[in-house]
Each structure stands twice: as C-alpha cells, then as structure tokens.
C-alpha cells in the first residue's frame, strides 16, 4: 500500500495584522521585520476561535475537495504546538466539530516540524494496511502564546491551519515516496514555552514572560540553514531524486532569508520554493500544509510532479517528505 494525497485544505482567520499595526514597538524598528524575515502581515484568530476551530475549517475544505464525507474518515491526526488545552488532545474536538464519529483522533507536537511528522505518522498507518484513509491536520494559534512585548518573536508568527487527506492506493505511481524525521533533543530549550507544563507549572511562575513562547534567534537560524539542506540532500539520495526532478519545495515558512539560504545550499532555484510567509507570517507546524494547499489550488499542473516538504523547529526537530502527485 502507498499513501497518496486525495485532497488538501487550509484556513486562515480573516483578521489581518500588518507590520504597521504592531504599535507596541518603536516605529523605527518595524522595517526590520520585513528586512530580516520578508514578513509584511499575519493573520490572528478571532477572540472566539481556538486551534480546533481553525483545524476544523481547514479539514472541512480538505474533505470538500476530496469528496469524502466526515463519517467516512477513519483517523484524525492533528499537529499542533498551541493546543486548545493541555488536555485532552485538540484533535478530539476537531473530530466532534467535523462529525467524524468513526475516526480516532490524537495530537502530535513537533512544533514547526509537526505537519511533516504528522503526515509521516498517517503514512505509517496507511502503509501498514491499518487504515484506508487518514485526515492529517496542522493548526496553530500562536497569537495566544506570543509575548506581545517581545520584538524577537511577536512580529514573526501568525495563526492558521492546513489539512491533507491521505488515502491508501495499491498503485505506486503517485503518493508519498519517502520521508525522513530527525530530532536533536540536546536543543530542547532553544525554542520553548517555559511555563505551563510539569517542568514548571504555572504555580511556580516567576515572571510573566515565562508563560510565552521564546526562541534563541541566532541558534535557530544556524540550525535551520544547516539541517534543512542536510535532510533534503539525504531524502534526495534515499529516493533517487535530483534537484531537477523536484518541481517544488514547500518549506516551513519561517523566514525568507532562511529559505533563500536553503535554496542556495541544495541547488534548487528560489523560484521553485513555495512561499506565503509574506502575507501569513510563520504559522509554525501548519505552515507547510497551508503552502501546499495554496500550491495545489493555484491552478498549476500537479499530476506527475514531485513536491518536497521540508520543516524544522522546536525540539530541535526537522523533517522532509517527497510526494509524487
């Protein structure tokens, strides 16, 4: 069995926040946002929307495109690092919102690599012959975990969700060709939300900033421009792909300068890297699925083409997956 992509979907909240709207920061600093990252805007969830709401919207768009009824979904895997609550799995509320009563549901948290990690988890169920289909969703509402006073994180993230429906097929001419998942836990504190878990419960909160997302910018940059090219090369080698055989790379939408560095390192032209971070910012684990959905719906010929997804983020974790459409 091979898992092929029967459908994709995405959802971005309607509230757009431009760089100039971030009035808590010095006006003189705002041009740095676009200079350093390429980001000009991001979307924020409405007050009454949480991660599962965004996920359900993306999932509905995906199921509609695929022509599959919610009750026929056999499994839901949700990648998120900004869950509705610490318990239960956010995926269970997505299941309820969709009415996918026959699907199991659980979460995967690999921060910005989460989408690709969840995709490979779904792929494993299909390849093992355990499921005929699985709905893989990635959804993030970082606007709720960002420190609004932190210029080194707040301007760069946005909210959004993407979804992919994997379906089992006996024919191997299209589908997931290969995936590589990697992690280096020695970097577990490079990207983190320090407070709110068992390591530091809220009762031990010492400063308000500890409840928010933090990252060590320089270390993240060095990690990304090293590990992402490495895993792309490794996956090309494992699948027999060449840079010429890859029609598009869909990278994690962290930073345009990082994406350009990855492009230069692997010898795949920048114009074949799909980007939308300019308008959505970094949507963490959801970014790859949102960009993939936009590519699939852009009207370009997908049949027979190879797309490589590559993601990197907290953990530290990184991953790549090659898909033939």
Partner 1 sequence: MQKIIACLKIVFPECDPATITSDTTLGDVPGWDSMNSVNFLLELEVAFSVGLLDETVTAQQRVSDVAELLRAKGAEV
Active site amino acids: 112, 252, 282
Buried b (16+ CB within 10 A) or exposed e, 265-299: ebebeeeebbbbbebbbbbbbbbbbbbbbbbbeee
Cβ atoms of residues 283 and 142 within 8 Å = yes
Question: Interface with partner 1 includes 25 (CB under 8 A)?
Answer: yes
Q: Which is nearer to partner 1, 117 or 156 (CB)?
A: 156
Question: Interface with partner 1 includes 186 (CB under 8 A)?
Answer: no
Pick the stretch among 113-121, 210-218, 253-261, 275-283 that binds partner 1 (CB under 8 A).
210-218
Q: Which is nearer to partner 1, 13 or 155 (CB)?
A: 155
Cβ neighbours, 10 Å, residue 115 = 37
Place of tokens 């114009």: 271
Question: Interface with partner 1 includes 200 (CB under 8 A)?
Answer: no
Tokens of 221: 């940059």
Pick the stretch among 27-35, 77-85, 107-115, 158-166 that binds partner 1 (CB under 8 A).
27-35
Rounded CA-CA distance 143/59 in Å is: 21
Rounded CA-CA distance 319/313 in Å is: 9
In the list 36, 182, 200, 260, the residue contacting partner 1 (rule: CB under 8 A) is: 36
Question: What x/- string results for residues 146 through 185 when contact with partner 1 is judged by CB under 8 A?
Answer: ---xxxx---------------------------------
Pick the stretch among 48-56, 88-96, 145-153, 291-299 that binds partner 1 (CB under 8 A).
145-153
Q: Which is nearer to partner 1, 216 or 233 (CB)?
A: 216
Q: Please state the separation of Cα 129 from the chain's center in Å.
A: 26
3-state helix, strand and coil shares in percent for the chain, rounded to the nearest 5: 40, 25, 35
Question: Interface with partner 1 includes 210 (CB under 8 A)?
Answer: no
In the list 187, 196, 217, 243, the residue contacting partner 1 (rule: CB under 8 A) is: 217
Rounded CA-CA distance 224/69 in Å is: 39
Please, what is the minimum distance in Å from the beta carbon of residue 25 to partner 1? Answer: 6
Q: Which is nearer to partner 1, 26 or 129 (CB)?
A: 26
Rounded CA-CA distance 160/138 in Å is: 8
Bridge partners, 96 (sequence order)? none
In the list 14, 20, 21, 29, the residue contacting partner 1 (rule: CB under 8 A) is: 29
Q: Which is nearer to partner 1, 25 or 104 (CB)?
A: 25
Question: Interface with partner 1 includes 194 (CB under 8 A)?
Answer: no
Judged by CB under 8 A, how many residues of this single chain contact partner 1? 14
Cβ atoms of residues 107 and 75 within 8 Å = no
Q: Which residues of the chain form contacts with partner 1 (CB under 8 A)?
A: 25-29, 32, 36, 149-152, 216-218
């Amino acid at each position: 069995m091979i898992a092929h992509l029967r459908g994709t979907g995405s959802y971005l909240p309607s509230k757009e926040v431009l760089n100039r709207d971030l009035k808590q920061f010095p006006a003189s600093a705002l041009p740095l946002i676009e200079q350093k990252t390429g980001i000009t805007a991001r979307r924020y969830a409405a007050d009454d929307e949480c991660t599962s709401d965004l996920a359900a919207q993306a999932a509905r768009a995906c199921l509609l495109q695929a022509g599959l009824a919610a009750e026929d979904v056999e499994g839901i895997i949700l990648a998120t690092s900004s869950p509705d609550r610490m318990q239960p799995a956010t995926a269970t509320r997505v299941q309820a919102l969709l009415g996918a009563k026959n699907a199991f549901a659980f979460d995967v948290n690999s921060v910005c690599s989460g989408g690709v990690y969840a995709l490979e988890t779904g792929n494993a169920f299909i390849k093992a012959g355990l499921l005929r289909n699985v709905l893989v969703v990635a959804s993030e509402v970082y606007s709720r975990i960002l420190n609004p006073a932190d210029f080194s994180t707040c301007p760069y993230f946005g909210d959004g969700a993407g979804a992919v429906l994997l379906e089992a097929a006996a024919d191997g001419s299209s589908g997931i060709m290969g995936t590589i998942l990697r992690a280096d836990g020695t970097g577990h504190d490079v990207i983190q939300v320090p407070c709110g878990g068992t390591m530091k419960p809220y009762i031990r909160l010492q400063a308000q900033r500890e409840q928010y997302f933090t990252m060590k910018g320089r270390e993240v940059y060095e990690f990304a421009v090293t590990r992402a090219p490495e895993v792309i090369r490794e996956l090309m080698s494992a699948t027999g792909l060449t840079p010429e055989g890859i029609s598009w790379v869909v990278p994690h939408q962290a930073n345009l300068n990082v994406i350009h560095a990855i492009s230069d390192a692997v010898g795949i032209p920048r114009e074949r890297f799909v980007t939308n971070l300019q308008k959505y910012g970094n949507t963490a684990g959801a970014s790859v699925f949102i960009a993939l959905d936009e590519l699939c719906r852009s009207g370009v010929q997908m049949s027979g083409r190879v797309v490589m997804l590559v993601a990197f983020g907290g953990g530290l974790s990184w991953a790549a997956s090659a898909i033939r459409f």
